Amino acid sequence: MSVPPSVPPSVLPSVLHVGGASPYDVVIGHGVADRLVGLLGEQPRRVALVLPETLRELAAPVLAALQGAYEVTELVVPDGEAAKTAAVAAACWEQLGEAGFTRSDAVVTFGGGATTDLGGFVAASWLRGVRVVHVPTTLLAMVDAAVGGKTGINTAAGKNLVGAFHEPAGVLCDLSLLETLPRVDLVAGLGEVVKCGFIADPRILELVETTDPQALTADSPVLRELVERSVRVKVDVVVADLRETGGSDGHPGREALNYGHTMAHAIERAEGYRMRHGEAVAIGCVFVAELARRAGRLDDATASRHRTAFARVGLPVRYDAADFETLLAAMRVDKKARGDQLRFVVLEQVGRPVVLAGPDEAHLRGAYEVMSGVRA
């Protein structure tokens, strides 16, 4: 009898189970897309595949697998942030109507976070909610956007202002898909990874600070560990506070995942959404660390560690293209704000996020001046 060769653990997929009222699995590995039909099950007759035109070639194996099992409608949407509009969502609804899409049918998204946000929102809103499985194709979508059920689109007033919580029925993170991802987009994804390190997992920071950033490629075991650890951070927070109603014992609950995002979203809006989200998150985390330092919450060394950790992986840590007043006005539409009061997630130390409500305007302005390079 021949003994089958043992499979090195690194090539076996990892499965992170997300508990709660609608449990699902996040599968992480190389070449895991063949699990898609298993996740969708036999119930759907029709599947709508939401993807940008630019990724159609990359999606060919997924499309072929779906076509072998279901009637497939392709919902081809604009690339990137341009997909996150009411007009694109409405066009998707019309196509689902024409295809006779029922509640037992399902949506599959294939793309970066913009595609999973839009496709997730279409799935959340069509017939008040149909099953969705995400196949994220960027690092950022694998570690963050595809997991946890936040979906949404932008409006003229700001980022992600319309949306719904709609948990996926499964998430397939096929690391092989990252082989074609431009380096600058992979680096942007590291913005959310480093954020996870600061709010909950110091080992992520150690890995980022001791690994040659150029070695973080699609086949790198360290990148895989970073993905697994970041997804674990997200899942643990989301399971404890799915709908962002608040944490306990001083922990901000799901709002912790919004670390750096108050300023990040304001910058993205000021940039007309031409700056990558992960880049804005890096700048936003540096800003809020400086705010926390000025408010007497965070020590100098940890605030400075923010600048070095994000810069080390190639992310921006300075921004001066919009003035303080413009960014302050944009921050007022942040979902964490209550009435006229701005609320920020700040750190008291690595792994200990808390909410800072109504900070001094002088502290906000001082942190802006450091962020914009006016002050050291």
Ligand X SMILES: NC(=O)c1ccc[n+]([C@@H]2O[C@H](COP(=O)([O-])OP(=O)(O)OC[C@H]3O[C@@H](n4cnc5c(N)ncnc54)[C@H](O)[C@@H]3O)[C@@H](O)[C@H]2O)c1
The CB density around residue 34, as the number of other CB atoms within 10 Å, is: 12
Q: Is 159 exposed, middle or buried (0-12, 13-18, 19+ CB in 10 A)?
A: buried
- 262 in contact with ligand X (CB under 6 A): no
Among 138, 258, 262, 372, binds ligand X (CB under 6 A): 138
Measured at CB, which residue is nearest to ligand LNCXM5UN? 160
Question: Was 21 annotated as part of a binding site?
Answer: no
Residue 347 contacts ligand X per CB under 6 A: no
Annotated catalytic residue, options 265, 269, 276, 305: 265
Distance set, CA 278 to CA 338, 342, 346 (Å): 25, 22, 18
Q: Which residues pair with 71 in a beta bridge?
A: 46
Nearer to ligand X, 72 or 231 (CB): 231
Residue of 238, 288, 271 lying closest to 80 (CA atoms): 271
Among 211, 209, 236, 235, CA closest to 223: 211
* Site for ligand X, residues 307 to 336, rule: CB under 6 A: none
234 is catalytic: yes
What span, in angstroms and rounded, lies between the C-alpha atoms of 33 and 357? 43
| Candidate ranges 178-186, 195-203, 301-309, 353-361; the one touching ligand X (CB under 6 A) | 178-186
Q: In what order do the strands lie in the sheet with 71-77?
A: 14-18, 24-29, 170-174, 131-136, 106-111, 46-52, 71-77
Question: Does 258 qualify as catalytic in the annotation?
Answer: yes
Is residue 150 part of the annotated active site? The answer reads: yes
154 catalytic? Reply is no
Say whether 363 counts as a known binding-site residue: no
- Check if 134 is active-site: no
Which runs of consecutive H residues, i.e. helices, occur in the chain?
36-40, 60-67, 86-98, 113-125, 139-140, 183-199, 202-210, 221-240, 261-270, 277-294, 300-312, 324-331, 361-371
Any contact of residue 190 with ligand X (CB under 6 A)?
Answer: no
269 binds ligand X (CB under 6 A): no
Rounded Cα–Cα distance for residues 139 and 142 (Å) = 5
Applying CB under 6 A, which of residues 29, 52, 78, 284 lies at the interface with ligand X?
A: 52
Which residue in 10, 43, 54, 341 binds ligand X (CB under 6 A)? 54
Give the active site residue among 224, 232, 258, 268: 258
Does position 258 interact with ligand X (CB under 6 A)? The reply is no
Binding residues for ligand LNCXM5UN (CB under 6 A): 144, 148, 150, 160, 192, 254, 257-258, 261, 335
244 given a catalytic annotation: yes
Contact status, residue 151 vs residue 166, Cβ threshold 8 Å: yes
Is there a binding annotation on residue 42?
no
Instruction: List, by residue number, the catalytic residues.
Output: 128, 150, 192, 234, 244, 254, 258, 261, 265, 277
Q: Which residues are annotated as a binding site for Zn(2+)?
A: 192, 261, 277
Q: Which spans of this chain sit near ligand X (rule: CB under 6 A)? A: 52, 54-55, 58, 79-81, 84, 111-115, 117, 137-138, 140-141, 144-145, 148, 150, 160, 177, 180-181, 185, 188, 276-278
